[in-house]
Amino acid sequence: MMLHRPVVLMVTVIPLVAGSLPALAASGADAVKMFDTDNDGTLDLPEVRKAASSLFAKLDRDRDGTLDKRELAGRLSARELAAADPDRDGTLTVDEYLAVVERRFNAANPDKDGTLDAKELSSPAGKALLRLLK
């Protein structure tokens, strides 16, 4: 009986270690699960725009139809906000926000197949996009 104990331990420990290995790709896979409304395993631009629009509505606490620096809560740096804000009023309309989202979508989609898979969403460009979705 004593001899078997280490074996039992190994068997229980290995799945735990293996389970933590794909953690790096998990953020992309989670995002696909969360926003993939047509269940094809990838995110296309309409799905991404829909996710971004609902986050926009959630972030717009004073419901004035725009996001200011405070409402953006660090999702865009000051420079990114300035670049995304052509009328320079310090706030983003939903159209300005979605324009940034679309630029980041394209940056995260180097194979230009119109969709983002879990791997593309786990890249630095993919993560920059996800910051605008959740």
| Nearest of 114, 71, 112 to residue 90 by alpha carbon | 71
Nearer to Ca ion by Cβ, of 9 and 38: the residue is 38
| Piece in contact with Ca ion (CB under 5 A), picked from 6-14, 61-69, 80-88, 97-105 | 61-69
Whole-number Å distance between alpha carbons of 22 and 86: 40
Whole-number Å distance between alpha carbons of 61 and 71: 7
| Piece in contact with Ca ion (CB under 5 A), picked from 10-18, 33-41, 48-56, 79-87 | 33-41
Residue from 22, 46, 62, 106 touching Ca ion (CB under 5 A): that is 62
List 66's β-bridge partners, or say none.
Answer: 93
85 contributes a contact to Ca ion by CB under 5 A: no
Instruction: List, in sequence order, the alpha helices (H) in the chain.
Output: 5-20, 23-35, 45-59, 69-72, 78-84, 94-107, 118-122, 124-130
Residue from 109, 121, 129, 133 touching Ca ion (CB under 5 A): that is 109
Residue from 9, 22, 38, 106 touching Ca ion (CB under 5 A): that is 38
64 contributes a contact to Ca ion by CB under 5 A: yes
One-letter identity of residue 83:
A
Q: For binding to Ca ion (CB under 5 A), which residues are involved? A: 36, 38, 40, 60, 62, 64, 66, 109, 111, 113
